[in-house]
Amino acid sequence: MILRIGLALFFLLVGWGLEAQDFKKIKRIEMETLEEYKDREEEALQCAEYILSNPIDESQEQLICLQFVMKWMEGTHIKFVIDMANMPGYSEKNSALLGIHLAALTKAALVDEEVANDPDRIQAEAKELYLDYCANKKNKVKMNKELKKEIKAREAQK
Protein backbone atom coordinates (compact mmCIF):
# COMPACT_ATOMS: atom_id res chain seq x y z
CA MET A 1 0.00 0.00 0.00
CA ILE A 2 2.73 2.47 0.98
CA LEU A 3 4.74 1.45 -2.09
CA ARG A 4 1.72 2.18 -4.35
CA ILE A 5 1.20 5.59 -2.78
CA GLY A 6 4.91 6.34 -3.05
CA LEU A 7 5.01 5.31 -6.71
CA ALA A 8 1.85 7.24 -7.50
CA LEU A 9 3.28 10.34 -5.81
CA PHE A 10 6.59 9.91 -7.66
CA PHE A 11 4.92 9.66 -11.07
CA LEU A 12 2.61 12.55 -10.26
CA LEU A 13 5.53 14.80 -9.32
CA VAL A 14 7.67 13.70 -12.25
CA GLY A 15 4.75 14.16 -14.65
CA TRP A 16 3.91 17.57 -13.18
CA GLY A 17 7.55 18.67 -13.40
CA LEU A 18 7.76 17.74 -17.06
CA GLU A 19 4.42 19.35 -17.86
CA ALA A 20 5.32 22.51 -15.95
CA GLN A 21 8.42 23.00 -18.09
CA ASP A 22 6.81 22.11 -21.44
CA PHE A 23 5.62 25.44 -22.74
CA LYS A 24 5.32 24.41 -26.39
CA LYS A 25 1.56 23.90 -25.95
CA ILE A 26 1.24 27.53 -24.92
CA LYS A 27 2.27 28.66 -28.40
CA ARG A 28 -0.97 27.20 -29.78
CA ILE A 29 -3.29 28.92 -27.30
CA GLU A 30 -5.62 31.40 -28.94
CA MET A 31 -7.22 34.21 -26.96
CA GLU A 32 -9.70 36.63 -28.45
CA THR A 33 -12.43 37.38 -25.91
CA LEU A 34 -12.03 38.80 -22.41
CA GLU A 35 -13.33 35.49 -21.07
CA GLU A 36 -10.59 33.58 -22.92
CA TYR A 37 -7.95 35.90 -21.45
CA LYS A 38 -9.45 35.39 -17.99
CA ASP A 39 -9.40 31.62 -18.52
CA ARG A 40 -5.66 31.78 -19.30
CA GLU A 41 -4.54 33.63 -16.18
CA GLU A 42 -3.04 30.46 -14.71
CA GLU A 43 -0.87 29.94 -17.79
CA ALA A 44 0.18 33.60 -17.73
CA LEU A 45 1.18 33.25 -14.08
CA GLN A 46 3.10 30.02 -14.77
CA CYS A 47 4.99 31.74 -17.56
CA ALA A 48 5.75 34.79 -15.43
CA GLU A 49 6.99 32.59 -12.59
CA TYR A 50 9.15 30.58 -15.00
CA ILE A 51 10.75 33.76 -16.34
CA LEU A 52 11.34 35.14 -12.83
CA SER A 53 12.82 31.90 -11.51
CA ASN A 54 15.42 31.36 -14.23
CA PRO A 55 18.47 33.33 -15.32
CA ILE A 56 18.14 35.31 -18.53
CA ASP A 57 19.38 32.94 -21.20
CA GLU A 58 16.95 33.53 -24.06
CA SER A 59 16.12 29.83 -24.13
CA GLN A 60 13.22 28.62 -26.22
CA GLU A 61 11.13 28.22 -23.06
CA GLN A 62 11.79 31.78 -21.92
CA LEU A 63 10.97 33.19 -25.34
CA ILE A 64 7.73 31.19 -25.54
CA CYS A 65 6.78 32.32 -22.03
CA LEU A 66 7.59 35.94 -22.75
CA GLN A 67 5.56 35.89 -25.97
CA PHE A 68 2.60 34.42 -24.09
CA VAL A 69 2.89 36.96 -21.26
CA MET A 70 2.98 39.84 -23.77
CA LYS A 71 0.02 38.46 -25.71
CA TRP A 72 -1.94 37.95 -22.49
CA MET A 73 -1.12 41.45 -21.20
CA GLU A 74 -2.40 43.00 -24.44
CA GLY A 75 -5.88 41.52 -24.10
CA THR A 76 -6.60 41.08 -20.41
CA HIS A 77 -8.96 43.34 -18.49
CA ILE A 78 -6.11 44.23 -16.10
CA LYS A 79 -4.58 47.60 -16.88
CA PHE A 80 -0.80 47.65 -17.01
CA VAL A 81 1.44 50.69 -17.19
CA ILE A 82 4.99 50.22 -18.40
CA ASP A 83 6.92 52.82 -16.45
CA MET A 84 10.63 52.97 -17.23
CA ALA A 85 11.23 54.54 -13.80
CA ASN A 86 10.33 51.16 -12.32
CA MET A 87 12.98 49.43 -14.41
CA PRO A 88 16.31 50.69 -13.14
CA GLY A 89 19.17 49.27 -15.14
CA TYR A 90 17.18 48.86 -18.34
CA SER A 91 19.00 49.96 -21.46
CA GLU A 92 19.52 48.85 -25.03
CA LYS A 93 22.53 46.88 -23.78
CA ASN A 94 20.38 45.17 -21.16
CA SER A 95 17.09 44.94 -23.05
CA ALA A 96 16.25 41.48 -21.67
CA LEU A 97 15.24 43.25 -18.46
CA LEU A 98 12.08 44.41 -20.21
CA GLY A 99 10.91 40.79 -20.25
CA ILE A 100 11.69 40.49 -16.55
CA HIS A 101 9.64 43.61 -15.87
CA LEU A 102 6.68 42.32 -17.91
CA ALA A 103 6.81 39.01 -16.03
CA ALA A 104 6.95 40.90 -12.72
CA LEU A 105 3.92 43.01 -13.69
CA THR A 106 1.99 39.88 -14.64
CA LYS A 107 2.87 38.03 -11.46
CA ALA A 108 2.07 41.05 -9.28
CA ALA A 109 -1.36 41.38 -10.88
CA LEU A 110 -2.25 37.70 -10.72
CA VAL A 111 -1.04 36.78 -7.24
CA ASP A 112 -3.39 39.17 -5.44
CA GLU A 113 -6.79 40.17 -6.84
CA GLU A 114 -6.80 43.45 -4.91
CA VAL A 115 -3.47 44.41 -6.47
CA ALA A 116 -4.85 43.62 -9.93
CA ASN A 117 -7.44 46.37 -9.54
CA ASP A 118 -4.88 49.07 -8.76
CA PRO A 119 -2.26 49.93 -11.41
CA ASP A 120 -0.13 51.77 -8.83
CA ARG A 121 0.01 48.70 -6.59
CA ILE A 122 0.82 46.51 -9.59
CA GLN A 123 3.74 48.84 -10.32
CA ALA A 124 4.99 48.81 -6.71
CA GLU A 125 4.76 45.03 -6.37
CA ALA A 126 6.33 44.48 -9.78
CA LYS A 127 9.25 46.77 -8.98
CA GLU A 128 10.01 44.69 -5.87
CA LEU A 129 9.86 41.45 -7.90
CA TYR A 130 12.06 43.04 -10.58
CA LEU A 131 14.65 44.20 -8.04
CA ASP A 132 14.58 40.81 -6.29
CA TYR A 133 15.34 39.17 -9.63
CA CYS A 134 18.13 41.58 -10.48
CA ALA A 135 19.72 41.32 -7.02
CA ASN A 136 19.85 37.52 -7.19
CA LYS A 137 23.36 36.69 -8.42
CA LYS A 138 22.23 33.38 -9.95
CA ASN A 139 20.28 35.37 -12.54
CA LYS A 140 23.51 36.93 -13.87
CA VAL A 141 21.98 40.34 -14.53
CA LYS A 142 24.47 42.87 -15.85
CA MET A 143 24.44 45.51 -13.17
CA ASN A 144 24.95 49.14 -14.13
CA LYS A 145 25.35 52.04 -11.69
CA GLU A 146 21.64 52.86 -11.64
CA LEU A 147 20.59 49.31 -10.82
CA LYS A 148 23.28 48.86 -8.16
CA LYS A 149 22.24 52.14 -6.55
CA GLU A 150 18.54 51.17 -6.51
CA ILE A 151 19.22 47.74 -4.99
CA LYS A 152 21.55 49.22 -2.38
CA ALA A 153 18.97 51.86 -1.42
CA ARG A 154 16.26 49.22 -1.10
CA GLU A 155 18.45 47.05 1.09
CA ALA A 156 19.21 50.04 3.34
CA GLN A 157 15.44 50.52 3.88
CA LYS A 158 14.95 46.94 5.05
| DSSP per-residue letters across 81-123 | ---GGG-TT--GGGTTHHHHHHHHHHHHHHH-HHHHT-HHHHH
Q: Is the pLDDT of residue 50 over 50?
A: yes
Q: How far is CA 12 from the centre of its chain?
A: 25
Name the residue among 51, 79, 66 with its Cα closest to residue 139. Answer: 51
Q: For position 9, what pLDDT does the model report?
A: 37
Would you give the DSSP letter of residue 145? H
Domain extent, residue 56, equals: 2-157
Q: What percent of the chain has pLDDT over 90?
A: 58
Q: For position 7, what pLDDT does the model report?
A: 36
Looking at the structure of the chain, the number of domains it has is 1
Name the residue among 74, 139, 129 with its Cα closest to residue 101. Answer: 129
Mean pLDDT, rounded, for 23-27: 86
Q: Is the pLDDT of residue 21 over 80?
A: no
Q: For position 134, what pLDDT does the model report?
A: 94
Mean pLDDT, rounded, for 115-137: 93
Q: For position 143, what pLDDT does the model report?
A: 87
pLDDT band at 87 (very low <50, low <70, confident <90, very high): confident
Q: For position 14, what pLDDT does the model report?
A: 35
pTM above 0.85, yes or no: no
Instruction: Report pLDDT digits (tens) over 6-20.
Output: 333 333 333 333 344
